[in-house]
Structure 1
Amino acid sequence: MLTPIPLLIIPLAIYNILVFLMPGTEWGTILTTVSMLSGAQWTITMEEGFIVLCLFFLFFEILKSTRITSRSLVDHMLSMLLFAASMAEFLLVQQAGNSTFAILLCVMLLDVVAGFSVSVRVAQRDFSVEPRSE
């Protein structure tokens, strides 16, 4: 069972743990290099891995938004609150003023917009009014 707590709080917590408890963490650190069949070397940095993690959680957030329950509204409100708090952190905290956090913010904004859009669309599908026959 999925809880009404926004899942994107997990990447936000990971980001804050890395920058505040492990100062000096370099986002450009290479995690791995993959040899492609073409002969090219694909390097994956910590920043790219983090962004993929954020997108993974976004996928599940969008899946959660397709359910119509009494918790849906709470979930959307908490997602919006999380986005607003993250926006404040981006603007006010020096460690959050970078592209990695900005992309996390974009993912959170997409979650808020997609959550409301999908919910409205699902609600329209579930609520159909037939014309009155006279």
Structure 2
Amino acid sequence: MFAAVPLLALPVLIYNLIALTLVGGFKAADASVRMTDTLFTIQMASRAGWAVSLGDLLLAASLVVLFVELLKSTTSRRIAIINHSLSMVLFILCLVEFLLFPAFATSTFFLVALMVLLDVLAGFIVTIVAARRDVDFGE
């Protein structure tokens, strides 16, 4: 049953926890400041400094999770339909948070929500293509 849970719920949950720790909670307008604050700097071979922020780390982890979700969507088991449905619910939740709460009106959360949408679309498209391949039309 764990396979039915969309893994992109993890980055959304992490962002929700970050937003809850802001002063003012979900109504805080300074979430973008927390997401863009530099956590550490990596010295590159070109002697330039690469400033890594919390938003960068969250997006990088979300991309890895999206890759795993896309691999999961290629299975044609019955549990995949439940996964696609839960991904749709997760996207609706992300959309509501993005539109209604100031702490979620950041580029970082928008990109995470876009990844959730891509997971929903890819899951349904892959399932439809696989189902069409399984059904034989004609003689």
TM range (shorter): 0.7 to 0.9
Secondary structure at the aligned position of 2:39 is classed as: strand
Q: Deviations over 1:21-74 (max 9, x none)?
A: 244661112233222222322221111111111111111111110001111111
Q: What is aligned with 1:51? A: 59
For the pair 1:111 / 2:112, whether they are aligned, the reply is no
Q: Deviations over 1:51-104 (max 9, x none)?
A: 111111111111110001111111101100110111011111121111111111
Separation of aligned partners in 2, 1:105 and 1:21: 20
Separation of aligned partners in 1, 2:104 and 2:22: 14
For the pair 1:3 / 2:3, whether they are aligned, the reply is yes
Map 1:1-134; keep pairs closer than 5 Å. 3-23=3-23, 26-129=34-137, 131-132=138-139
Structure 2: unaligned runs, 5 residues or longer: 24-29
TM-score, structure 2 normalization: 0.83
TM-score, structure 1 normalization: 0.86
Tell me the matched-pair count. 131
Secondary structure at the aligned position of 2:76 is classed as: coil
More helix by share: 2
Superposition misfits of 4+ residues, deviation over 4 angstroms = none
Mean alpha-carbon deviation: is it higher for 41-50 or for 73-82?
Answer: 41-50
Separation of aligned partners in 1, 2:2 and 2:83: 10
Output the amino acid matched with 1:17: L
Structure 1: unaligned runs, 5 residues or longer: none
CA-atom RMSD, angstroms? 1.9
Give, in angstroms, the shift of residue 117 of structure 1. 1.5
Output the amino acid matched with 1:58: L
CA contact (8 A) 1:11 1:53 kept: yes
